[in-house]
Structure formats: C-alpha cells, structure tokens
Amino acid sequence: MGKIVQLANSGLLCPNGPIPDPDPRPVRNRLVLAAFSWPAHFRVMVAKEISADLMESWPLSYAATLGSAVRKQGIFLELRAHLPPAARKSLKIEGGLVVLRMSAEDGRQFAAATEVVGKVLENSERLPVIPREIEDILQISSTERYRWLNDGRLPSAGTRTVKLRGRAKQVTFHVFDPRVVEELLDQDRVSQWREEDAQTAAEHRRRASWRTNRPPRGAAATETSEILRGSSKLSGWEEFERDGPLRKSSRH
C-alpha cells in the first residue's frame, strides 16, 4: 500500500491531483474508487493491496504495564480471553503495540474484535496486578511478597480464583491495586522494607545467641551456695555464726 500511496500522492495516477490524507485507511477507500481510471497493471497492484490483511494496532502505556514485560503479557492474555477462539490467534504483541491482523474476508469479525480489544484496553490501567506481575514490577521474591502481605505492609486488593490449565482444583491468590503498586515503586518502599527486615533479623539473631549462651536454670543458685560453703573456711566464720554480728559484751 505504501508504494501505491506514494504514486497516488505524486499525482501520476490521479488526474485530479494528489491524495491529501496520509492515513492508509481512508486512502485505501479512495484508491479503490480511483483505480477504475488507472492502467490495467496498476489496477492489479491495487487489487493485491486491497485484498491484503486488515490490521489495527493499539499502544500499551506505561501506566498500564508499569514497565513490566510480565504485566504486558498479562494484559495480552486478558485481551485474548475476551476474544472468540477463532480470533485469538490474530492478536499479537509487537514491541509496545497490540496488533490485530485478519484477512479482508473476515471484515465483520475484524470489526467486532477491534471493538472488544479497544474496550478492554480502555480499562487496562485498572486491571488488578497478579502475584507474578507484582514480583516483576517491584523486583521482589515470592518469600518477600508472602511476608509483606502477611504483616500488612503490602495491601491486598482482594482475591481471585481461577482454574489453571491441566489442574483439577481451582487456585485462589491475592491481587493488588495497580495504583498502589505504582506508588510503592515510585517511593522505593521495597528498599525501606528490606532494611527493616535486616534490622529485625539481626535482633532475632542477637536474642537467639543470648538464649544459647546463657547459663542453665539453677546454675546461679548452685554457684551462690558454693560460695557460701567456701566462706566457712574463713578465719572467725564459726564465731560469727555462733555469736552473731554483735558480740555480747562481758561488761554489765
């Protein structure tokens, strides 16, 4: 289509002057109407271009993907889930674009699929973040996600239950608000939480070391009694025990 549009815009093929609209979709319609006055070999070229695949593309914004390839793939799978099975293979991701391609014979199906994809992408920035996506966005491990979810630092936006392919039982997992995740990412909360966890772990190690090295129960009392027994060998100790701290005076 590009070469034919260039020829048409040059004015060589259109007696009424170049085609002003650079958009290939309206140009396609104008070329069809203008092709009847063109030479035969140009009409063949136009026929081949018109019979080519129909295509539509949509950009994926950063607010939707949060810079995550895993999140981008998750949005793509969400899009495919809303399409009829016959149209799912026609949807692809190319770079930062979602691309839908179908043959010209599937015009009605293409129009319906285009409408579905457009509506889902309108809400893509609000799609809940699933566990593997938040781990990729925040660059955290599954252990950290579980720990911070359990202690409340990582707020949950609810749960989702799905049935995975090849598994008989359903799986329930927590999902997260994309705007909350974006805030955690912008404020670098993960680094702060890791420092807190390191301090807590150091305190736990200190307490464990003290418990390990402290004397067993009764050891202090045994040591005290041994000291007292040893004190009986001191000079005058027997008199002290017999007479008490104050000796009775012999004078009356």
Q: Based on the fold, state whether residues 36 and 18 are members of the same structural domain.
A: yes
Boundaries of domain holding 25: 2-52
- The answer to whether 144 and 196 have CB atoms below 8 angstroms apart is no
Above 60 in pLDDT, residue 47?
A: no
Q: Based on the fold, state whether residues 170 and 118 are members of the same structural domain.
A: no
Residues 161-169, mean pLDDT to the nearest whole number:
79
- The helix (H) or strand (E) run that includes residue 79 is helix 69-82
Q: Based on the fold, state whether residues 77 and 143 are members of the same structural domain.
A: no
Across 12-41, b (16+ Cβ under 10 Å) vs e yields ebbeeeebeeeeeeebbeebeebbeebeee
How far, in Å, CA of 140 to CA of 250, rounded? 87
Better pLDDT: 225 or 5: 225
Inside any domain, residue 28 = yes
Above 90 in pLDDT, residue 43?
A: no
Q: Based on the fold, state whether residues 118 and 134 are members of the same structural domain.
A: no
Q: Based on the fold, state whether residues 139 and 194 are members of the same structural domain.
A: yes
Inside any domain, residue 87 = yes
Q: What is the pLDDT of residue 105?
A: 85
What is this structure's pTM? 0.63
How many structural domains are present in the chain? Answer: 3
